[in-house]
Structure 1
Amino acid sequence: MSSPIPDPVWRMPGPRATATALPSPKAWRDAEAGLGRALVDAAAEVARLDERLRGRDPGLIHRLALEEAEALATLSGANLTPGRLALAEMLHAGLAEDDARVLRGATWAVRRLRSGRTPRSGGLSEFLNRQLQAEGALGDLAQRPEGEGFAALAHRWDHALSRMKRAHPLTRAGFAHHLWQGLGLSAPGDALESGTIAGLIAAEDLRGGLAFVPIARAGGDAHMPAATASDLLQTWLGGVRRGCLSALMALDALSAWEDRARAATEDLSGRTPPRLIAALASAPVLSAEAAQQSVGCSRDAAERNLALFEARGLAREVTGQKRFRLWRASV
């Protein structure tokens, strides 16, 4: 039901992954056949989230992508506080070198998750953008395969995944993640690359508003190894279901905040307050400059309204600075 990594692969340049049994396409297809209820439950939550995002502001997808990338970075051993990635994306400065390495990898994940595009056959190097990543990302780069060693492993991953074409996208996603980890295509402990690719594969057949399936936001259980393909898939599907439920709850909280904000600003005239409500709902953090662009008002009007929202308990300033200040909705 599984196959060992053959020695010829490891005569290629690059580090050697831990010798272990690799996920077998047949074992995963058999596991899917026996986990119909779990698959239906997970797919139902994915469909609910997809429908919920249909026709919504693309900023919500960006928000979910930021949160998913932060969760994947945390699973990879980074120490990111909630909203840290969004803050860095806005500020573009003042990062310690260790933070910069982490955030470069997480920012790559955000771009890929927002795109909704999975890597094309044979195009993993381009998808991963490893030339850029080599400047510094999560994990010890010396432990990550490069060059011919990476190409050989990527070919094996791509070939095995092609044997899962008839499986459900959620099953293919879990298989892709665990095979990636088993082959050692990333540095040990790095879940950013495999988690990003799995989230995109899981959403391949969707036609609504969901560019990727948020899995890591519910915790790391779905990404953990297990003894059998059935155990792996069952845990993975449970993680998918919890991740989508978590995203739906976050969207519910944002919707409730929007209702509260509209009620609390009924006495304000003009188009700036309602537009600012929409901007704060779709962005984890918002600068005065970003508010100015989103709302279509002057810088003074943006700052004045952000201060007013803060005074009414609708927003809070998160940097504690006098310059480069950032606000978020008080959800």
Structure 2
Amino acid sequence: MQRHPYILEAGSEESECGIYDPEPIQDDDLWFMPASFSGEADDLAPPLPRADHSRLIDVDAWREAEASLAVSLAKVAAKLGALDERLRRAPEGWRHRLALIEASGVSWLGTERISAERLSLWRAMRLSGVQEDNQALARADWACRRLTAGPMPDVTSAESVMDFLGRQEPAEVDHILHPSGEPIGDQLAAWCEEMNRAGDLHPISRAAFGQYLWGPTGLLAHVPGAEMEAAVLSARIATDGLTGGAVFLPLAGGGLSGLRRVGNPAERLRRFLKGAEAAILATLRHLDQLEAWQGRASHALKGRSGRTPKRMVEVLSEWPLVSAPMAEEITGASRAALQRNLNDMAQMGLIREITGQGRYRVWCALV
């Protein structure tokens, strides 16, 4: 039996594929392809509708929580006042040292765990390791600068808070990361509106409220390090009305448990006060040890001539870790003089070299 070839006529639907090819897929089945523009609005296209979070923010519940925890709040406020008076009479370098320690602590709120030693080297000389994230170090450096000095942000003004955070509206909103598509300015405006409603709270309670409010207003979803921003801003809010000695409320020394966003307002405020009290006590104890070390160092170096020994005591009090190039950058003294003084202070038992290496050595005060 003779076989005849299967010939398709030109222009027929079957002429575009062979007899063994699968049937063509209709355009309606291509779910992964973008839909053609038909002029009609798509309800599922970004920005998506934003849920109403107003019912999640109950300022009256925070007022009731503050009233029920009045004794604990008074204790924390008294300890913060003592810290404020202590720092008001202290050298400027002490505030910088505490800011370094606090910035290092709050960096652990996210995935970035920056030690005070690494942050010190970054701030002094912009030095980082090969495998270190410079962006994470820059964020920790921002936290240290905001905790060291600067004006208190006006929490009732979104523009003031945005300037404090150093935020800017992105040119284009990433709808995958931010499905709501709401500008950060609008979210900060909502945050400031709620903070204005809570204006009658004590600054410490208001700081706890503002830190919690970062989540319901959607500010945690914008950039890496948003948790750090919330903690730094809350630490500054808590010192409103003080004399200027304590620039921020220590929080990292309490283990950061007070910054967890779980439980009702009373539980959140209780954890916040407990963590703040522990952090303040740890800070006061550290200042006592630092003051005692300065006294020992000044007495041991009393007979030394020149300004370098005295300047080295100040540098070691201000920075948790000091290297010879770093001290040279800060003090302006010669490398030989600094190296000689560092070796002498190590022999006196005032400082300790922590690397154990012959080169690239780093010292810390034996506080």
What is the rounded CA distance, in whole Å, between the counterparts of 1:146 and 1:186 in structure 2?
A: 13
Contact residue 114 and residue 140 of structure 2 kept, 8 A: no
1:200-215 matches, within 5 Å, as: 200-215=236-251
Larger deviation, residues 67-76 vs 92-101: 92-101
Q: TM-score, normalised by structure 1?
A: 0.83
Counterpart of 1:256, as a letter, is A
* Separation in 2, partners of 1:284, 1:310: 15
Q: Residue 22 and residue 291 in structure 1: after superposition, are their counterparts in 2 closer, same or farther (change >3 A)?
A: same
Larger radius of gyration: 2
2:125 to 91, 108, 111: 91
After superposition, the Cα gap between the structure-2 partners of 1:102 and 1:21, relative to the gap in structure 1 and judged at 3 Å, is farther
The Cα shift of 1:109 comes to 0.8
Q: Which residue of 2 aligns with 1:48?
A: 82
Q: Partners of 1:97 and 1:81 in 2: how far apart?
A: 14
Match of 2:166 among 129, 132, 151: 129
Equivalent residue, structure 2, for 1:175: 209
Q: Where does residue 15 of structure 2 map in the other structure?
A: none
Residue 75 (structure 1) aligned with residue 109 (structure 2): yes
How far, CA to CA, are the matches of 2:325 and 2:175 in structure 1? 37
1:203 Cα shift?
0.8
CA distance in 1, matches of 2:184, 2:235: 22
Structure with larger RCO (C-alpha < 8 A, sep 6+)? 1
**8 Å contact from structure 1 (residues 173, 201) kept in 2:** yes
Pick aligned residue for 1:192 from 228, 245, 269: 228
Deviates more, 1:31-40 or 1:146-155: 146-155
**Secondary structure of 1:211 counterpart:** coil
The verdict on how the C-alpha distance between 1:147 and 1:130 changes in structure 2, with shifts beyond 3 A counting, is: farther
Q: Secondary structure at the match of 1:328?
A: strand
| SS of match in other structure, 2:121 | helix
- CA gap of 1:234–1:269, structure 2 versus 1, over 3 A, is same
Q: Output aligned runs, 1:174-323, within 5 Å.
A: 174-187=208-221, 190-288=226-324, 291-292=327-328, 297-318=333-354
Mapping for residues 6-25 of structure 1, pairs under 5 Å: 13=47, 22-25=56-59
Structure 1 contact 144–184 (Cα < 8 Å) conserved: no
Distance 1:154 1:189, change over 3 A: same
The CA distance in 2 between the partners of 1:304 and 1:17, in whole Å, is 64
- Confirm or deny: 8 A CA contact 1:116 1:212 kept in the other structure: no
Deviations 1:34-79 (A, max 9, x none): 2110001100110111111013222111111111111111122323
Normalising by structure 2, we get a TM-score of: 0.76
Gaps of 5+ in 1: 1-9, 135-139
Asked if structure 2 preserves the Cα contact closer than 8 Å seen for 1:144 and 1:185, the reply is no
Letter in 1 for 2:117: G
User: How much has 1:237 moved relative to structure 2?
Assistant: 1.0
C-alpha distance 245-81 of structure 1, shift in aligned 2 (>3 A)? same
2:121, 2:128 within 8 Å by CA — same for their partners in 1? no
Aligned to 2:20: none
Cα distance in structure 2, aligned partners of 1:143 and 1:191: 16
Matches within 5 A, 1:145-156: 148-156=182-190
Check if 1:104 corresponds to 2:141. no
For residues 213-248 of structure 1, give each alpha carbon's deviation from its aligned partner in whole angstroms, at most 9, with x where no partner exists: 111222121101232111111111111111111111
Alignment partner of 2:191: what SS? helix
Task: Work out whether residues 116 and 320 of structure 2, in 8 Å CA contact, stay in contact via their aligned partners in 1.
Answer: no
**Cα displacement (A) at 1:276:** 2.1
SS of alignment partner, residue 183 of structure 1: coil
> 1:325, CA displacement in angstroms?
4.6
Name the % identity.
Answer: 38
Post-superposition shift, 1:204? 1.4
| 1:255–1:227 CA distance, 2 compared to 1 (3 A) | same
Report the 3-state secondary structure (helix = DSSP H, G, I; strand = E; otherwise coil) of the residue aligned with 1:182. coil
Structure 1 residues 145 and 282 mapped into 2: Cα distance closer, same or farther (>3 Å)? farther
Contact residue 202 and residue 212 of structure 1 kept, 8 A? yes
For residues 55 and 74 of structure 2, the distance between their equivalents in structure 1, rounded to whole angstroms, comes to 28
Structure 2 residue identity aligned to 1:117: P
How many pairs are equivalent? 317
Q: Structure 1: which amino acid aligns with 2:76?
A: A
**CA distance in structure 1 between the aligned counterparts of 2:211 and 2:194, rounded to whole angstroms:** 12
Distance 2:311 2:248 in 1: 27
Cα gap change, 1:318 to 1:130, in 2 (>3 Å): farther
Could you say what secondary structure the match of 1:130 adopts? coil
1:31 — aligned with what? 65
2:197 maps to which of 145, 156, 163? 163
C-alpha separation in 2, matches of 1:82 and 1:293: 19
Instruction: Please give the alpha-carbon distance, in whole angstroms, between the structure 1 residues aligned to 2:240 and 2:53.
Output: 31
Gaps of 5+ in 2: 1-43
Higher helix share: 1
SS in 2 for 1:209: coil
What is the Cα deviation at residue 298 of structure 1? 3.7
Q: Partner amino acid for 2:73?
A: L
| Alpha-carbon separation, structure 2, partners of 1:222 and 1:43 | 16
Cα distance in 1, alignment partners of residues 177 and 350 from structure 2 = 47
In structure 2, C-alpha distance between the alignment counterparts of 1:141 and 1:82, rounded to whole Å: 36
